[in-house]
Amino acid sequence: MSKIQTNVAALACMLAVVLVAMLTAQSKPAGQVPRTADGKPDFSGIWDNPKEPGSRAPATVFDKAKMAPFVPGGEALFYEPRTGDPRHDEPRAFCMPSGFPSAFLGPYPVQLIQTPQYLVMSTEFMNVTRIIPLDGRPHKTDIEPTFYGEPIGRWEGDTLVIEARNYKRWSLDDYYYQNPKEYRMHSEAFRSIERLRRVDADTISYEFTVDDPKIFTKPWSVQWQMKRHPEWEKTGLYEMVCNENNRCEGGKCKQ
How many residues bind another protein (CB under 8 A)? The answer is 38
Compute CA 109 distance to the chain's CA centroid, rounded to the nearest angstrom. Answer: 13
Find the binder of another protein among 123, 124, 165, 166 (CB under 8 A).
Answer: 124
Regarding 232 and contact with another protein (CB under 8 A), the answer is yes
Closer residue to another protein, CB minimum distance, 207 or 249: 249
Q: Output the smallest distance, CB 68 to another protein, in A.
A: 27
81-110 residues in contact with another protein (CB under 8 A) are: 86, 89-90, 92-95, 106-109
Alpha helices in the chain (DSSP H): 3-27, 74-78, 86-89, 102-105
Closer residue to another protein, CB minimum distance, 36 or 176: 176
Closer residue to another protein, CB minimum distance, 56 or 64: 56
* E strand residue ranges, the chain: 45-47, 79-81, 110-114, 118-123, 128-133, 150-156, 159-165, 182-184, 191-200, 203-211, 220-227
53-72 residues in contact with another protein (CB under 8 A) are: 56-58
Regarding 176 and contact with another protein (CB under 8 A), the answer is yes
Regarding 181 and contact with another protein (CB under 8 A), the answer is no
Closer residue to another protein, CB minimum distance, 218 or 247: 247
Identify any residues that bridge with 122 across adjacent strands, giving them in sequence order: 111, 129
Torsion of CA 104, 187, 61, 86, to 10 degrees: -70
Regarding 252 and contact with another protein (CB under 8 A), the answer is yes
Regarding 230 and contact with another protein (CB under 8 A), the answer is no
HEC-encoded secondary structure of 150-181: EEEEEEECCEEEEEEECECCCECCCCCCCCCC
Instruction: Establish how many alpha carbons lie within 13 A of residue 33's alpha carbon, considering only the half-sphere containing its beta carbon.
Output: 19
Q: Which residues bind another protein (CB under 8 A)?
A: 56-58, 86, 89-90, 92-95, 106-109, 124-126, 176, 178, 180, 232, 235, 237-242, 244-248, 250-253, 255
